[in-house]
Amino acid sequence: MNRVYKEILNQLNLGVIVFDEHCQLLYVNHFIRDNHKQTVGLGQSLFTQFPELPEAWFRKRVESVIMFHNTSFTQWQYRPHLLNLMETRPITGTHELMYQNASLIYLGHYDARELICLVIQDATQTALTQMKLAKTLNKLNQEHKQLHTLNQQLKEAQSQLVQNEKMAAVGQLAAGVAHEINNPMSFIKSNIECLQHYTQRLVEMGHYLESLLQKQEDQQIIVSLMRQKEALDIEQIEEELPELINETLDGAKRIQDITGSLRDFSRLDSSEWQLADIHEGLESTLKIVNHEIKYTVNEIVKDFGKLPKIYCLPSQLNQVFLNLLVNASHAIDKDGKIIIETRFLEDSNQITIRITDNGAGIPKTILSKIFDPFFTTKEIGTGTGLGLSISYGIIQAHQGSIEVNSTIDQGTSFLITLPINPPISTSLSDQSL
Amino acid sequence: MTDTSMHPEVPIEVDELRKDALQEIFNISMGQAADSLACLVKDRVYLSVPQMHWVEKSDVQDLKAAMKRVPKGIIICQPFSGYLKGEILVCYEQGADFTVIGESLAYTKEQVQKWQHELLLDITNILGGACLRGVADQLNIRLEFGAPNLIDRHSEVTTILLNSSSIWDKALVMEIGFSVQSMSMTSDILICMPEQYINKLFKCIDHLLE
């Protein structure tokens, strides 16, 4: 019968090792012998035969198994190769070592020895399949995450596109309307100027008639004239008329200014490189944004230096000024102050434009991102996240630089440096010379 | 719920007697287990007096109310079979320090961190063995243990019991608190046995009472 048991043990698709409480090897079955790299000798220490086995840990386990007469387990996830047994498939296998689940079983007390059995189960297939699954799942999760992010970006980009389209349409409309208003405004203004002269002459005519009537003797006529004059409040009319006309004229002039600025700003007519006065651009931009920033900004300080004209795309630079000014006003809650400084750096043949606000400031964590396309701190649909990135692109195209300095609760300062003659244009003019 | 008899046909006095005996058997086992555990981990081990709960799955909420506390964390289960059949659920809450107990099982500090799950599986195995070995010895029955498994990392024990697709209806749940002085936290052991094995359990107890 003993032979039958031995045969069963040897035919088992499990590794069986029996040893005593001192970890002295008493028996190993064929599975262990066949799959272990070295020949296994009985009577020796388990740890000389299997040096890969962590001794202190294993002895502790043996101790606990003997103490509690129970079975202890290890799993391939934590101890993939408890013993250096080789993978059973030398041809189709992809791993050298076998993944194992193991049980440490207390057998009992025989011949003054505690006997313990270590049973090794080949878990290679399960382990490899599970690891592959986990890897695939991980990849899927990552792809899912990426897709989610892309989707989000797409949504944002879409809403920004809509917003951009809207802005472009509004801009075109504004320029068109400005143009349309400009024509009638021109004749309204010249008509008012005409009216100013005519009414002046009419008043003079009245005075002349009055003085003529004063000279004749019929008091009746004089009294009736005075009464009529009083009834019609002519004296007050004479007093207020020039003022009324002046005010109207002033209003008309202002409308013309705004429409002019709008036209200048969009420069639909000129998108070519040209010599331009930066101060003119700043002034026209200020007029455009005035309605947007006047609610929060009390004071705009224009600290303008003496600047030469620079070779640039004026409408694009205006776009930059507009973005910076509008951003500045958005950073301000109330009692805002915006300082615009311009300087000419003769040594380097550059000009600088610094726009400083006393608003909320930009947190350090996002300071490096503000020029990134689609980065916005405003709600979706409110900010395009493109303003500063477009500005950055424009300044780059001018071979200039834009820098930002910000302190929380104190404000933000943008410094634009522009060459008077960008290298591109210099080379162009060289060629033409 | 704790008072509900599982066996309406048995006179209440007998039922009470059995429960008292069962409680006593568990108390003795816990004492022995605590001693052997202390010997193994070389630290003071505390095992609370087991609280007996008779639970119907539809009333797991009642168990929640009846339990001393409902732990939440890493949950490891270990099946046992033999004359009786059931499962041990151990819940290790976040924040317990296993360094000392790990060292006593020959895990270095780094290994305790790196192989915490394996260590917890081993602790569960030892705990389960320690707690039930005494019961098996007193009842003179055979019990074998399966490999412990990690079944959840962030759940309440009762959520696991409540799983609607699980196959039990009524069960005996013994609630035991376990702590080692160095662990600075109590873990919770639930020894659960489904209804069909309670009869066998009581048969053993009746035999003892005779």
- E strand or H helix at A363, and its extent? none
Return the structure tokens found at A5.
């048991």
Which range (A168-177, A408-417, B18-27, B78-87) has the least confidence?
A168-177
So what's the pLDDT on residue B159? 83
For the domain made up of B12-209, give the CATH fold. Answer: Chemotaxis protein chec (3.40.1550)
Instruction: Report domain extents, chain A.
Output: 2-122, 159-269, 272-433
Query: Rounded mean pLDDT of A387-401?
Result: 82
CATH superfamily entry for domain A2-122: PAS domain (3.30.450.20)
Q: What is the architecture of the domain spanning A272-433?
A: 2-Layer Sandwich (3.30)
Nearest to B145 among A63, A71, A101 (CB): A71
pLDDT band at residue A99 using 50, 70 and 90 as cut-offs? very high
The H or E element spanning position A170 is helix A124-215
Average pLDDT over chain A, rounded to an integer: 85
Percent of residues, chain B, with pLDDT higher than 90: 10
The residue-averaged pLDDT of A274-297 equals 85
Minimal Cβ distance to A70: which of B115, B118, B129: B129
- Residue in B with minimal Cα distance to A55: B106
Tell if the CB–CB gap between A73 and B129 is shorter than 8 Å: no
**Do A70 and B115 lie within an 8 Å CB cutoff?**
no
Residue A374 reports pLDDT greater than 70: no
Q: Is the CB of B36 less than 8 angstroms away from the CB of A56?
A: no
Q: At A433, is the pLDDT very low, low, confident or very high (cuts 50, 70, 90)? A: very low
Segment B41-46 shows an average pLDDT of 83
Helix B12-41 vs helix B116-139: angle between axes, to the nearest 10 degrees?
Answer: 130
Residues of A in contact with B29 (CB under 8 A): none
Shortest Cα distance, chain A CAs vs residue B156, angstroms: 24
- A→B contacts (Cβ < 8 Å), by residue, are 54, 56-57, 59-61, 63-64, 67-75, 77-79, 101, 103
pLDDT recorded at residue A90: 76
Are B168 and B194 contacting, i.e. CB atoms less than 8 angstroms apart?
yes
- Mapped onto helix, strand or coil, the DSSP state of residue B46 is strand
Q: Which residues pair with B46 in a beta bridge?
A: B179
Give A252 or A172, the one with higher predicted confidence.
Answer: A252
Bridge partners, A122 (sequence order): A100
CB contact under 8 A, A57 and B106: yes
State whether B118 and A59 contact (CB < 8 Å).
Answer: no
Q: What is the pLDDT of residue A267?
A: 53
Q: Looking at chain B from residue 132 to 151, which residues have their Cβ under 8 Å from any Cβ of chain A?
A: 133, 144-145, 147-148
- CA proximity to B114, closest of A213, A79, A221: A79
Q: What is the pLDDT of residues A195-210, one digit of tens each?
A: 999 999 999 998 998 8
Positive or negative CA dihedral for B168, B169, B172, B175? positive
Alpha helices per DSSP H over A217-359: 219-231, 234-266, 278-293, 314-331
pLDDT over 60 (residue B156)? yes
Distance from CA of B40 to the nearest CA of A (A): 7
Residue of A59, A68, A104 to mutate for B, most B C-beta atoms under 10 A: A68
Q: Quick check: A317 and A422 in contact, CB under 8 A? A: no
Average pLDDT estimate for A417-428: 69
pLDDT at A365: 82
- What mean pLDDT is reported for chain B? 84
For tokens 């980009």, the residue is: A157
Does the pLDDT at position A417 exceed 90? Answer: yes
**Are A412 and A402 spatial neighbours (Cβ–Cβ below 8 Å)?**
no
Please tell me the distance in Å from B149's CA to the nearest CA on chain A: 9
Determine whether the interchain pair B40/A63 forms a contact, defined as Cβ–Cβ distance below 8 Å: yes
Confidence of residue A57 (pLDDT cuts 50, 70, 90): very high
pLDDT of residue A385: 57
Whether A331 has a pLDDT exceeding 50, the answer reads yes
Contact between residue A102 and residue A121 where contact means Cβ atoms under 8 Å apart = yes
The confidence score (pLDDT) of residue A384 equals: 53
Angle, helices B116-139 vs B195-209, to 10°: value is 40
Structure tokens at A232: 């019609």
Q: Using a CB-CB distance cutoff of 8 angstroms, which residues of chain A are in contact with residue B125?
A: 70-73
Query: Domain extents for chain B?
Result: 12-209
pLDDT in tens, B54-99: 888 887 777 878 887 777 889 999 999 988 999 999 998 877 788 8
Q: Are B121 and A75 an interchain contact pair (Cβ–Cβ within 8 Å)?
A: yes
For residues A320-336, average pLDDT: 85
Taking only the tens place, the pLDDT of each residue in A229-254 is: 899 998 899 889 889 999 998 888 88
Q: Please tell me the predicted confidence (pLDDT) of residue A332.
A: 84
- With cut-offs at 50, 70 and 90, classify the pLDDT of residue B15: confident
Extract the tokens encoding A74.
């290890």
Q: Tell if the CB–CB gap between B125 and A61 is shorter than 8 Å.
A: no
- pLDDT tops 70 at residue A257: yes
d(CA A132, CA A51): 30
User: What's residue A58's pLDDT?
Assistant: 94
Which chain B residue shows the shortest CA-CA distance from A101? B147
- A68/B36 Cβ within 8 A: yes
Report the pLDDT value the prediction gives residue A428, as an integer from 0 to 100: 35
Comparing CB atoms, the residue among A59, A67, A78 nearest residue B40 is A67
Q: From B124, which residue of chain A is nearest by alpha-carbon distance?
A: A72
Residue with more model confidence, A74 or A294: A74
- Mean pLDDT across the stretch B26-39? 86
Tell me which of A103 and B152 has the higher pLDDT: A103
Distance, CA of A358 to CA of A341 (rounded, Å): 14
Question: How far is the alpha carbon of A134 from chain B, nearest alpha carbon, in Å?
Answer: 16
B40 part of contact set with chain A, CB < 8 Å: yes
- Contact check, Cβ <8 Å, A61/B122: yes
Q: List CB contacts of A330: < 8 A, sequence separation 6 or more.
A: A359, A378
CA angle at residue A91 from A89 to A92, to 5 degrees? 75
pLDDT at B133: 86
Question: What's the pLDDT score for residue A2?
Answer: 86
pLDDT value at residue B16: 84
CA angle A310, A316, A317 (to 5 degrees): 50
Q: Which residue of B has its CA nearest to A74?
A: B118
**Cβ distance B205 to B22 under 8 Å?**
yes
Instruction: Identify the band that residue A431 occupies on the pLDDT scale cut at 50, 70 and 90.
Output: very low
